[in-house]
Every structure is written in structure tokens, then in C-alpha cells.
Structure 1
Amino acid sequence: MKLLKRLGLGILALLLLLAIFSLFISSRLRVERSIEVAAPADAAFEQVNTLRNWERWSPWHGIDPHMLLTYSGPDGGAGASYNWFSKHPDVGDGQFKITKTEPYKFIVAEMNFGPNGTANTTYSFDKTAKGTRITWAMESELGMNPVSKYMGIFLIDDVVGADFERGLNNIKQIVESQPAGQQDAHAGHGH
């Protein structure tokens, strides 16, 4: 019986220490990944800015190609948005809305995951000697819940980061396979 009591007190002490330590962990989560593509910034920009292009490169569309998508607003640029509905647990339901763009430089958007919270995401396109560096970043507020903070540190960055890497690699394959100077069918919309 003493052993069980000591074990219980030890677990309680460990949980208390973890809760206290979590106070020193930032409640803001940032996930960021980059890739360099051998293509001009306009080609890379249009893959993200024109929302219907996402069906070709988004890592989540690859997970559930049968998800339901509804688009609203312009084809691209500020005000363009889409809702997604998926029964797949790794995709779920949500909304993506572009809030600000500077053509061929950056895109800022809001993502709403319903009960799983919201996030702000940015895509930047920087000219390099070999083409364009695309950076995909997401920031989200985790709150003060210790479990959320630990999941953010140990799980979310790896899982979401891997999704970002797949998406960026997909964009790379698409833009590098296009003949030089080819414009996407939706290019120029929503600027």
C-alpha cells in the first residue's frame, strides 16, 4: 500500500512540475518550412494565390482527394476563400481565406479549423540566384493549457511541418515542370 501511495504522489509531483514548466513555454506556436524552386516568383506565387490550384499541390488534398470544396470571392488575392469538408480525421472541416497579398512577394491568410481553433498563415516568395525561395509559415495561439503547449512543442511542428514540406515539394514539381514563360490558366485573377 505504501508503494502505491508513493507512486501516486510521484505521479502527482511530476504532473505539477510539468504544469509549472509549461508556464515558461510560449503559448504562440509557429511552424515554418522553406524550399527553393528553379522558377520565377510569379509562377510560384500563382500556385498559392489562385485557390483552385491547391487541388494540385496541397498536402491535405492528397490525404483526402474526395473532400468537398466550396469557393467564394475572387479566384485569387484578398477576399478569395474556400471551405473544406472531409470525413478524414487528419483533414476535418475548415475555412481558408486570403486577407492580403503583394503580387509575387507574399500572401497572408486566415485558417479556421472550427473547434480546433484558428491560425494565421503566410507565404513569402523571395528571389534567389537559382529562382525563388518559398517560405510557408503558420502561427497559432495555443492558450495556457499545458497539454496544448506540449503538443505544440513535441507534435504539431513535426506533423504540420511534414505537411508543409510535402506541399512545398508539390509546388516545386509543378512550377519546375512548366515551360519557361507559361502562365497558369488562372494567372492574373484577384490581384
Structure 2
Amino acid sequence: MADTTYTVERTRTINAPAATVYAQIADLHAWRTWSPWENLDENLKREYSGPRMGAGARYAWSGNRKAGEGEMVITDAVEPTSITMSLAFTKPMKSTNELQFTIGEHGATSTVTWTMTGQQTLLTRATALFGGMNKILGKQFTQGLDRLAAVVETD
């Protein structure tokens, strides 16, 4: 029997305290500095609502075919250890996913794990021909975590 969900997960150690890392993830406005998708469309339209950070914060975007259209909403936030989000794409294809960031502090460093879980669709099953969602999105998660580290390690 085939899995009904897929999971993509990447972890990185960052030379910054958990509170500093948490602030960059829980403030959706800060994603512009490190998200691997922010540079896909120079004319990307962004809309923020709700609190600036933490549970209830919302970020919606609309852009070209590469950027697509959708929204993220922080559904749960426990400072400085975890952030859970609902991620919904409306274009170029509809999908709903859950994002989870867990942050563990180890002295002056933090371990950040970025996980996305979504429902298998015909399209996600077709990505198996190219290595699957884990391989395709995993590269972007790694890039995002590297960029997040570059932002917080220079503060």
C-alpha cells in the first residue's frame, strides 16, 4: 500500500542562540532575508496580517509561475523551541502542508530541523521520477537553512 503523505526534513547546526533563530522564523517579515523562495519573482506581492510574529501571524504571496500563490499561517509557537505552520498553495497547483521548525539549543549553538508534511497527490507521486519531494524540496530547505545561518551568525 502506498504512503498517503510525504515528508521532507533537513537539519542544520547554527552558531547562534535558539532565541535568535526563533525570532527569524517566527517573524514572517524576516523570511525575506533567508527564505529560498523569496528571490523567485522580483515583483512578488506580499501581504501580512495578524500579529507580527508567533501564533496567528499570516503571510500571503502572489507571484510568477515559479513563486506561485499561497499563504502561511503560524498555528502554534513555543518560544524558543518550536513553530508550526499551515502552508497552502493555490497556484500553480493546490496543496496544503504542515511546516514544523524545532530548535534545540546546545550552549552557543542551535540545531534547527525544518520539516514539511503533505498529502501525496498524482503530482507528488510523479516527482519520484526526479528523486521525489524529499530530493527536490530538500535542496531548497538546505539552502534556506544555510541562508538563515548566514543571517543570524552575522548579528
Residue equivalent to 1:160: 137
The answer to whether 1:105 aligns with 2:105 is no
Identity of aligned residues (%): 26
Q: Is the 8 A contact 2:125 2:132 kept in 1?
A: no
Q: Which residue of 2 aligns with 1:77?
A: 54
Q: Distance in 2 between matches of 1:72 and 1:169?
A: 27
Q: 1:1-54: per-residue Cα shift (whole Å, max 9, x none)?
A: xxxxxxxxxxxxxxxxxxxxxxx3312100000100111000000010011100
Cα deviation, residue 95, structure 1 = 0.4
Larger Rg: 1
Does the residue aligned with 2:60 lie in a helix, a strand or coil?
strand
**CA–CA distance in 2 between the matches of 1:81 and 1:126?**
24
4+ aligned runs moved over 4 Å, structure 1 = none
More helix by share: 1
Higher strand share: 2
The 5-angstrom pairing of residues 141-160 of structure 1 reads 141-143=119-121, 145=122, 148-151=124-127, 154-160=131-137
The gaps in structure 2 that reach 5 residues or longer are: none
Unpaired segments ≥5 residues, structure 1? 1-23, 179-191
TM-score of the aligned structures, taking structure 2 as reference length? 0.91
Change (3 A) 1:86 1:128: same
TM-score by length of 1: 0.75
RMSD of equivalent CA atoms: 1.6
Q: How far off is 1:141 after superposition?
A: 0.8
Alignment correspondent of 1:26: 3
Alignment length, in residue pairs? 152
